Structure 1
């Protein structure tokens, strides 16, 4: 059964269309970025500053996201929502929710990333979307 058969009004908005926030999984010591963590951290700070300067809210996922937020300049931190959670990796396009629209309702679709054919661990990453939903951060509908 195809999605159009179950809901003919459901569609995936194009990349670049409205999003209420940007999801960033911040690098930490238990990711592949460990050898250059200081440089990558600086890059993520620059990305976060650029997004918030455009008034785009940023949702940061990190084992100590509260500390990351506290370390940002106040003008940046006010547009950052921290979510304390352990991840395997930072590439949220591999495991973050895919949000579709069904009539006037937004639905966060959770899926399971296989770590490129089990080449890389993704067990923590695969819990991010459901944890955000269970915490009430991802609103609207939810499909697993």
Structure 2
């Protein structure tokens, strides 16, 4: 729970993802070395995502090179607006700004980005936030601490979810304790209750981003996953998250995890059905295994009345380290 954060009065509020959106930004792959030398599989899945999302919201695609621009134009045509800005690769949730609503309209909150704790430093990533805010014509407010957008989730009524594994990791902000984080988050996003989870998924490149394990789907209502199959590598982690959230007095719903997904290296990939994107009229869900994906989609549909729940393949995107939510950033209406 927040303590010091409750005493801070913020000037700007972060809307929940289900609030009306003016546009949805999406990244486009450009660094072949980040994709095992093969961009085509990821580009095909991202193109399918963009075509689907464009049926519900205007989509803007961030392309970081002339080659990326040409490939996106060839695959997308007039489906989306292509915008050439500095990007390392596709992960706009973490490298782009976070758009809040203030007394004078939208504002872009930008944070220091250090390549997920120095593990994946890509040229252009530290310029993406300012460039994207400039395209949107929104004033940029720079904060002097490291934060990635996938590390937090809000319900629009003062609550924020995060994990200690990521936010208190010394590879982000040295010396931070819970109180330091709570004050910083309260000032940036207008929240007054911080809900701390422990660890994220095993082998998660992001050091446990919360958008892979728990998401608000309504005020005070959190969605997370239950284990799928005897070999689910995250069974203990997922059950601990459910228990923790229920002790916080929140409404908790669960859907099936993808189970164990192996990309060929012998390690369990950080695959999650939680890495969906919510937009106007739709929820677009990553699917890695058709059997478990169909189960998760059937469990999700009653939880999003009025929205179409759509599953799309995302195994090739996962090879880059994330999925649909990681590569997108909504612009509040």
Query: TM range, normalised to the smaller chain?
Result: 0.7 to 0.9
Shift of 1:122: 4.3
In 1, the alpha carbon distance for the partners of 2:25 and 2:62 equals 7
Higher strand share: 2
Note if contact 1:60-1:81 (Cα within 8 Å) is conserved in structure 2: yes
Specify the alignment match of 2:140 in structure 1.
Answer: 142
Give CA deviations for 1:19-77 in whole Å, capped at 9, x if unaligned.
222111200134512433111110011011101122x1111112135424531455xx1
Specify the alignment match of 1:124 in structure 2.
Answer: 124
In 1, the alpha carbon distance for the partners of 2:29 and 2:106 equals 29
Q: Which structure 2 segments of 5+ residues have no match?
A: 143-333
* Residues 38, 6 of structure 1: alpha-carbon distance in 2 compared, 3 angstrom cutoff: closer
In 2, the alpha carbon distance for the partners of 1:90 and 1:73 equals 16
1:67 to 56, 61, 70: 70
* Residues 120, 73 of structure 1: alpha-carbon distance in 2 compared, 3 angstrom cutoff: closer
In 2, the alpha carbon distance for the partners of 1:39 and 1:5 equals 46
In 2, the alpha carbon distance for the partners of 1:73 and 1:130 equals 25
Note if contact 1:97-1:129 (Cα within 8 Å) is conserved in structure 2: yes
Note if contact 2:47-2:76 (Cα within 8 Å) is conserved in structure 1: no
Shift of 1:107: 0.2
* Residues 139, 86 of structure 1: alpha-carbon distance in 2 compared, 3 angstrom cutoff: closer
Q: Secondary structure at the match of 2:136?
A: coil
Q: CA RMSD in A?
A: 2.5
Note if contact 1:113-1:122 (Cα within 8 Å) is conserved in structure 2: no
Q: Which structure 1 segments of 5+ residues have no match?
A: none
Paired residues for 1:62-141 under 5 Å: 62=63, 63-64=65-66, 66-72=69-75, 74=77, 77=78, 79-134=79-134, 137-141=135-139
In 1, the alpha carbon distance for the partners of 2:80 and 2:111 equals 25
Give CA deviations for 1:117-141 in whole Å, capped at 9, x if unaligned.
111104511201212334xx21232
Aligned residues: 136
In 2, the alpha carbon distance for the partners of 1:73 and 1:119 equals 31
Higher-Rg structure is 2
Note if contact 1:30-1:88 (Cα within 8 Å) is conserved in structure 2: no
In 1, the alpha carbon distance for the partners of 2:38 and 2:69 equals 22
Shift of 1:16: 2.5
In 2, the alpha carbon distance for the partners of 1:89 and 1:66 equals 13
Q: TM-score, normalised by structure 2?
A: 0.37
